[in-house]
Amino acid sequence: MSVSRRLETFVAFSAEVTAFTPTEVWGTGLTQRYLDTVDGVVGTAMTDALLNAFDRITTQSAGERTAKLRQTVFGCEQLGPVARAVVKLWYIGTWYALPAAWQERFGPAAQDGTFVPTPDAYVEGLLWSAIGAHPPGAKAQGFGSWQFPPGIPKF
Amino acid sequence: MTTHDITSIGLLHRQLFKAMQLEHATAPPYISALYSIHPGDNADAAQILRAVAVEEMLHLTIAANVMNAVGGTVDFTVAGFVPSYPTVLPDGEHDFEVGLGPFGKDALETYLKIERPAMAPRGQARHVQIKGGARHFISHPHDQTLRYYSIGEFYAAIRDGIVYLESEAKAKGKTIFTGDRAKQATAEYYYSGGGRLWPVFDVDSACRAIDLVIEQGEGELKQIFGAEGEIAHYYRFDQLQKGRYYQIGDQPGQPTGREIHVNWEAVWPIAVNLKLNKIPEKSELHAAVADFNKAYREFLAFLTRAFNGEPKLLLEAVPRMFEFRNRMQQLIRNPLPGGDCNAAPTYEI
Amino acid sequence: MSILDRRAIMVDPGVLKNSGHYDAIIVGSGVAGAIIANELAQAGKRVLIVEAATETDRSFKGYSSYLQHFYGQADKDNQSPFPVNRNADMPRSGQLRKLDPLEINSTSYIVQSGPYVTDTVYTRAFGGTTIHWEAKTPRMLPQDFQMQTLFGQGKDWPIRYHDLEVDYELAEREIGVSANVEDQQYLDITFRSSYVYPMHGLPLSYLDQRVAAQIDGSEVELYGERYPLRVRPFPQGRNAIPNQKYDGGKGYQPVGAVASHQIDVGGRCQGNTNCVPICPVQAKYHAGKTLAKAFDTGRVDLLSQAVASRVVIDSASGRVTGIETKLYHDPASPDHHTIMITGTLYVLAGNAIETPRLMLASGLRSSSGLMGCNLMDHAYLLNWALMPQICGTMRGTTCTGGIVELRGGAFRRHQATFSVDIHNDGWGWATGSPASDVVELVDAGNKFGADLRQAIIDRVSRQLLLAFMIEVLPSESNRVSVNPSYTDLLGNMRPVVSFTVPDYTLRGAAYARQFAKTVFARLGAEDHTKYDPSDYGFVTYEGEPFAIRGGNHLAGTHVMGTDKATSVVDTNQRCWDHDNLYLVGAGSMPTIGTANVTLTLAAMAFRSARNMIMQLGRLHAPVQT
Ligand SMILES: Cc1cc2nc3c(=O)[nH]c(=O)nc-3n(C[C@H](O)[C@H](O)[C@H](O)COP(=O)(O)OP(=O)(O)OC[C@H]3O[C@@H](n4cnc5c(N)ncnc54)[C@H](O)[C@@H]3O)c2cc1C
Ligand code: SF4
């Protein structure tokens, strides 16, 4: 995969597993940073394996994609924990250390551990927009906004 | 030509409309630049831009208050209120254009021009002959060949006009302050740490309001700090160029405060003066930008209501503005297909 | 004027050689020290503030570095914005663990001597703990001042509500409190006629309104008396809409950011939901705002990175002759040199742990023997549930409303009162939500994509956390002490805390749990509360388990009273033993009721400052012939 194709596939995969649109995923400004994070922890070969697995199913229908993702990505002993870490990274902005069992079998992933890749990661966590709120300490919604029902975006 | 530029209430309304147009016109450029800055980087530059943008909003509110006080109509939805960028400023400063784009050295040059201090003495000398092709904005209220040297001159003429028209009216036992007081936006509905807001209903309250705009803007008579110790916009930006903060007692051009480090690289490369038709139609991004413009148009209609007797709406306007911030940031981080540039709101209203 | 331009802020220790001309030496730049510094300076007195911390947040850059530091931490603990400074250390909850019987944990800054382990914290930073506080500012109830007389429990104050009323108003002005008098007139709280708060109250959150819709107008019965329930807004020290009626119609001008006009960030509260641990826009009051005014007078100097280490006494007169202070040069290194600082009056404003710690480390136990004793702190009991509908949790200030009708009543003969906070930030305090929810839904729930997104909405937007702030009464065995075996990097003795949650409080906690269940039932909310036996705050009462959290409202450790034998300070917070030494802050409070302590300690600071000015006047008065 070319460098730009790789990034695009990562964005498409991220959009798929978070249920946010590619525009919203790009909109975090963190796409490259996160791809680098994944590469840094599990190595480019394993990241490629993840992206290729996703690439193979992109033309299928939404329902089929979900089923396939369960079988070949989230249900894969090797790729599953990585995929889950990516989902958590997007939602929370923290890379959560891979399970010890994974490390034993597929490691060592030297850079693994629980960490925040960059201060913006916290601010851009998708969790907050999902619930129509904002990360505590950033992107405030304005005086008095809290008295109204939340604007939970449709998806 | 008389010593007064503004010789009728109609002209006053016209100039006040331009004032509102002017205050609004600078906001999208400042805000685009502000959000082009990577968060976390350039805290000083971002804060300076933010402070200036917030005060432009205050100035817009003040201009609207004065307009309402003298019986004019505040309507941000009229065609042409939002300029097509790039644009010259509505006060008639034609020697430079203002556009939408990323924060950078060139942009900073433009900001310094926008906020340049009033240089000319009172009266006629505050005008400059227009050279070359004038754009769509009329500058001098009744002499198309003249423009103001700076925003300060433009406002000073409005102030003089108000004083003159009111004294004329008084002589006939009348007043120009015929507006409905319920339309005034006051501090309860709007404030930020830097600015004050009071109801405008006579010459004194109007002149104080206009003086505040002048003082917060370019700073009059080479004063870096205003009466309340607030630093003028021109000097705020000048600090970024000089790489150092001003402190009290400093001479213009020679700040001696804390050093400012500007990282000119930590900026999203947003397309300059982007237009919607440059984004592939039917793309998700196209829809998102169009959506932003639509929401902005609705917001201007909402603000118009606020200034027409429902000042409480200004409280709700704040959360909406915060929502714009999130949307803008999102667009600014989206690459445009096939180029090295990123998207941005286009403000095609 | 911009604070960046204020001169005479940081004094060169060399200049201090002739510092005898300071009218007052104040140890600590927290809200107590700041108010006194400003009041004295406004009265023309010369003041030196000695502050152990560095002064990072004096500039905007420093303030925003706290924020970036906070964003960048994976574990956003209470103190995460504040970098470690081992020369002026502070408690951090991450360092705690459950103790075995008789075990002592000295790995945390506060040595925990148990049996109860408190996770209470305070912040040693320029401006003190208010940089970190939540800024709830209720007044104490009049009945709180007479616990012994009215209920046969705890102690009476030597002064009454009425004596403090005007000072409460001054404190509300200084802090810039937003509230409506009509919402705050409950139980026996009174206001002077025509009084209004500086700013209008903040609106209740949507979550508060959903709770109110089900419980307002309902009642509970306790010891035969009925108490009506209602969700009320709390008074808050954060900028809202100024009240034009304030000050006889003059209105109130909110105080902006410390770093002043260069950067305009002292605006109206924006609902960052992050008041604790740090407000990004400085809408929340912190002592830096008062200090800025004090520095403006040109009569207040600040010596930072200066740790007061010993109060030196003239044994004959009992008067303080100086404060031995350790100056360090770099927070990362224990290198320091020691100087003696002298002035006319001395004021210790280090908070209810650090002030008695310093006194005890100086061998000054008070003739009453009560220095460090009677440590109080509110005991928090958390109860959490899922509302039946989406409530938009995670928005607004940390807390806008709560249930306060049980702050007072005849039941105080038997059990502690409480005030209930409705938390707008969900279960975070109890469970680490919402990050913990996402982790669970992804890892154990095997969710991703649209399923996950919907599950997060259902799980987080419905969260309700009721935090019961329960009264704790004074008990001599609950205390701060020092022990030469436990010192910090500079060789100063660290505080050792011994604490047992009193039965009176636990009876209140047991009722609080029952009360929460009743409220949840009225709301149709799904109770998810559980207390883990391995929790460091785990206690049992009559077989029932509870996890008690610390309240960050430390008090009582240099108690105020009417005589030398039974108290440490007089009603002006002056030491009975040392007539030029004041110990100010919540440490002087004989009881704390269910009021977050800061408004009251601020009010007392105004009272003490007046007395100091009088005392200085007497000392300096020309001799009459
Ligand atoms: C998370 C949290 C939330 C809170 N929420 C609320 C609330 O909602 N409402 C409320 O009323 N209260 C609240 N509080 C409590 C409130 O913050 C404190 O009561 C208040 O800040 C105490 O002020 P102080 O001036 O007495 O002490 P501090 O603010 O602690 O200041 C003491 C200062 O003295 C300095 N110092 C200490 N020892 C020395 C020494 N030896 N030499 C030199 N300097 C020294 C310290 O560095 C510090 O700057 C909260 C506290 C926390 C932690
Ligand atoms: S809610 Fe936000 S803006 Fe308001 S005081 Fe708290 S942190 Fe500051």
What is the DSSP-derived secondary structure letter of residue C568?
S
CA nearest to A82 within chain C: C443
- Ligand 2: list residues with CB < 6 Å: A 140; C 238, 269-275, 279, 281, 283-284, 397
pLDDT in tens, B245-259: 888 788 888 888 888
Is C624 within a domain?
no
Task: Count CB atoms within 10 A of the CB of residue A55.
Answer: 15
Q: Is A141 on the interface with B (CB under 8 A)?
A: yes
Q: How many CB atoms lie within 10 A of CB C315?
A: 7
Cα gap C500→C478, rounded to integer Å: 6
Q: Do C496 and C113 form a contact (C-beta atoms < 8 A)? A: yes
* Chain B positions touching chain A (beta carbons under 8 Å): 38-40, 268, 284-285, 288, 315-316, 318-323, 325-326, 329-331, 333-335
Radius of gyration of chain A (CA): 16
The Cα C238–Cα C130 span in angstroms is 12
Helix (H, G, I), strand (E, B) or coil at C150: helix
> Could you tell me if C230 and C403 are in contact, meaning their C-beta atoms sit under 8 angstroms apart?
yes
CA A96, CA A110: separation in Å to the nearest integer?
14
Mean per-residue pLDDT over chain B, rounded: 84
The CATH number of residue C345's host domain is 3.50.50.60
Q: What gap in Å lies between CA C83 and CA C484, rounded to an integer?
A: 26
B280 phi/psi in degrees, rounded to 5 = -50, 125
Q: Which residues of A touch C205 (CB under 8 A)?
A: 146-147
**Entry pTM:** 0.89
Given a contact as 3+ CB pairs under 8 Å, which chains touch A?
Answer: B, C
Contact yes or no for C262/B231 (Cβ under 8 A): yes
Q: What is the pLDDT of residue C373?
A: 98
What does the alpha-carbon distance between residue C327 and residue C346 come to, in Å, rounded to a whole number? 18
Distance CA A142, CA B170 (A): 44
Name which of A22, A139, A141 is nearest B284 (Cβ-Cβ). Answer: A22
> Quick one: average pLDDT of B219-244?
76
Nearest to C442 among A84, A115, A143 (CB): A84
Residues A130, C438 contacting (CB under 8 angstroms): no
Residue C498 lies in a domain: yes
Q: Is C130 in the pocket of ligand 1 (CB under 6 A)?
A: yes
Phi and psi for B334 in degrees, rounded to 5?
Answer: -90, 125
CA dihedral C435, C441, C447, C449 (to 10 degrees): -30
Q: Are C286 and C34 in contact (CB under 8 A)?
A: no
Q: What is the mean pLDDT of each run of 10 residues along chain C (625 residues)?
A: 34 55 95 98 96 73 68 69 85 80 88 89 91 94 98 98 98 97 97 95 96 97 96 95 90 63 57 69 86 90 94 96 94 92 96 98 97 98 98 93 97 98 95 95 97 98 98 97 96 96 97 98 98 92 94 97 97 98 98 98 98 90 53
- Chains contacting C (3 or more CB pairs within 8 Å): A, B
Residue C413 lies in a domain: yes
Contact list, C453 vs chain A (CB under 8 Å): 18-20, 130, 155
In chain A, which stretches have pLDDT less than 70? none
Within-domain flag for C3: no
User: What number of C-beta contacts closer than 8 Å exist between A and B?
Assistant: 54
The ipTM of this complex is: 0.97
On whether residue C520 sits in a domain, the answer given is: yes
Question: CATH topology for B9-268?
Answer: Ferritin (1.20.1260)
**Per-residue burial over B27-41, b = 16 or more CB atoms within 10 Å of its CB, e = otherwise:** bbbbbbbbbbbbbbe
The neighbour count for residue B166, using CB atoms within 10 Å, is 19
* Cα A95 to Cα A35: distance, rounded to the nearest angstrom: 12
Q: Which residue of A has its CA nearest to B327?
A: A27
Q: Do A140 and C240 touch (CB under 8 A)?
A: no
Q: Is the peptide bond before B86 cis (omega within 30 degrees of 0)?
A: yes
Confidence label for B124 from pLDDT (cuts 50, 70 and 90): very low
Verify whether ligand 1 is closer than 6 Å to residue C466 (CB atom).
no
pLDDT at C591: 98
Domain that holds residue C483: 9-619
Give the burial class of A146: count Cβ atoms within 10 A of its Cβ; 0-12 exposed, 13-18 middle, 19 or more buried: buried
**What's the gap in Å between C398 CA and the centre of ligand 2?**
8
- Residue C183 host element (H or E): helix C181-184
Token representation of residue C485:
């075996």
Work out the end-to-end distance of chain B between its first and last CA atoms, rounded to an integer number of angstroms: 37
Selecting from B38, B316, B329 the residue whose C-beta is nearest the C-beta of A27 gives B329
Q: Report pLDDT digits (tens) over B247-298.
A: 878 888 888 888 888 899 999 999 999 999 999 999 999 999 999 999 999 9
Burial (CB count <10 Å: 0-12, 13-18, 19+), residue C365: middle
d(CA C356, CA C343): 20
C50 Cβ below 6 A of ligand 1: yes
Q: Which of C61, C241, C268 sits opposite B43 (nearest CB)?
A: C61
3-state per-residue secondary structure call for chain A: CCHHHHHHHHHHHHHHHHCCCHHHHHCCCCHHHHHHHHHHHHCHHHHHHHHHHHHCCCCCCHHHHHHHHHHHHHCCCCHHHHHHHHHHHHHHCCECCCCHHHHHHHCCCCCCCCECCCHHHHHCCHHHHHCCCCCCCCCCCCCCHHHCCCCCCCC
The answer to the question of residue C4 being in a domain is: no
Beta strands in C553-593 (DSSP E): 581-583
Angle at C73 between CA A40 and CA A144, to 5 degrees: 125
Within a domain: residue C474? yes
What end-to-end distance do the CA atoms of chain A give, in Å? 30
Tell me the C-alpha distance between A50 and A9, whole Å. 10
Note whether residue C599 is domain-resident: yes
Domain assignments of chain A as residue spans, ordered by start: 3-122
The domain locations on chain B are: 9-268
Dist CA A128 CA A137 (whole Å): 12
Q: Are B153 and B118 in contact (CB under 8 A)?
A: yes
Q: What is the DSSP letter of C566?
A: T
Q: Is pLDDT above 80 for B198? A: yes
- CA distances in angstroms from C215 to A130, C116, C229, C519, C599, listed in the order given: 29, 34, 7, 7, 29
A144 touching C (Cβ < 8 Å): yes
- Alpha-carbon distance B210 to nearest alpha carbon in chain C (angstroms): 20
